[in-house]
Amino acid sequence: MYERYNISDMLTRIISIILNIVYVLVLNLGMYTDRAVMPNGNVREWTRSPIDRLNIMDQTVFLYLQIFFTAVTVISAVLLLLGIQHHVWKKVWLISFIVSTLLFVIILVITGNAHAKYA
């Protein structure tokens, strides 16, 4: 159950933890500018993050999935770094890291194509 592992395994797990932290930080950045014409004719601008846009589009399920797979990736990577080298944990870590990365890309694509409208 406990066995030694090489440096490359340790580095890939540390990199996966860092990447998942970066994913969360990027999802909180105000990177989109939305403009909408108000009823009085003025144009209003908002700076929104991908999380804000997901909330506006009622697509928060992607955010919850991202949070879940990020947590699973980080927890399994930490367990593997602590020395628990069971093949199930390795598979859980790898699958959750791949899904977390794919969800991050999907969220950026979905929120990049969203357009704010004033109703």
Distances from the Cα of 47 to the Cα of 15, 22, 28, 30, 99, angstroms: 30, 20, 11, 6, 28
Q: How far is CA 82 from the centre of its chain?
A: 24
What is residue 118's predicted lDDT score, i.e. its pLDDT?
52
pLDDT of residue 119: 46
Q: What is the mean pLDDT of residues 80-107?
A: 91
This prediction's pTM: 0.83
Higher pLDDT, 89 or 95: 95
What digits encode the pLDDT tens for the residues 10-69?
899 999 999 999 999 999 998 888 787 888 888 888 888 999 889 888 889 999 999 999
Q: Looking at residue 117, what is its pLDDT?
A: 56
Digit-coded pLDDT (tens) for 77-87: 999 888 887 88
Contact yes or no for 30/49 (Cβ under 8 A): yes
pLDDT given at position 102: 97
The answer to whether 17 and 78 are in contact (CB under 8 A) is: yes
